[in-house]
Amino acid sequence: AQRVTQPEKLLSVFKGAPVELKCNYSYSGSPELFWYVQYSRQRLQLLLRHISRESIKGFTADLNKGETSFHLKKPFAQEEDSAMYYCAANSGSARQLTFGSGTQLTVLP
Amino acid sequence: NAGVTQTPKFQVLKTGQSMTLQCAQDMNHEYMSWYRQDPGMGLRLIHYSVGAGITDQGEVPNGYNVSRSTTEDFPLRLLSAAPSQTSVYFCASSSSGYNSPLHFGNGTRLTVT
């Protein structure tokens, strides 16, 4: 079965510290991976996607097919990064996303 | 350009009542979907549509109906509300491009007593 796992429900780091949000997937074929973010009182929005190889707001994510992981990283966390982060995957040709359970990131001053 | 608009924002129902959650998008997106968000479970897909007149079931479709008579609208109907349907519901849409991002509405918080 298709599955996206985010092992950490809560994650707290201090401002300026590196942060890594973990995501593992279990999918047949070659899924596309995404990170979505939901800031307080805002709607869920796309942060970045693997296919674009982009860095958004200082965040990057590397796809490791051997470990079936797509961890989200930022070298220096900022307080405004505090939010709920969801890892998601689709099965390539389909657009139905499977989401992980989310990680609530809190960046402490 | 309002994006994806959901109404109502909040709703309280009694067990057995029915209601429709409205979703409209003004981006001419072909793909629309409904998710429910529950603590510790992330977002789970209820139903989706790849175009007007075409709908299909997601991961948790039981107790919900959808229709897609126009490109813009994708209402979600609760046939007979149950406390297990207490959740936050999100509508999302995307264009037909491969890997196009989902655009989400603000959500509807539903409580069934």
Cis? peptide before B8, omega within 30° of 0:
yes
pLDDT the model gives residue A29: 76
pLDDT digits (tens, 9 = 90+) for B66-85: 999 999 999 999 999 999 99
Chain mean pLDDT for chain B: 93
B14 vs chain A: nearest CA distance in angstroms?
Answer: 27
HSE value, Cβ hemisphere, 13 Å, CA-based, for B96: 6
pLDDT the model gives residue A53: 74
In chain A, which stretches have pLDDT less than 70? 1, 92-95
pLDDT digits (tens, 9 = 90+) for B49-64: 999 999 999 989 999 9
Provide DSSP, chain B: ---EEEE-SEEEE-TT--EEEEEEESS--SEEEEEEEETTTEEEEEEEEEETTEEEE-SS-TTEEE--SSSSB--EEESS--GGG-EEEEEEEE-SSTTPPPEE---EEEEE-
Which of B35, B102, B108 best tests the A interface by mutation, with the highest count of A CBs <10 A?
B102
Contact B104 A99 (CB under 8 A): no
pLDDT the model gives residue A90: 84
Which candidate from B42, B44, B104 shows the least CB-CB separation from A43?
A: B104
pLDDT the model gives residue A55: 80
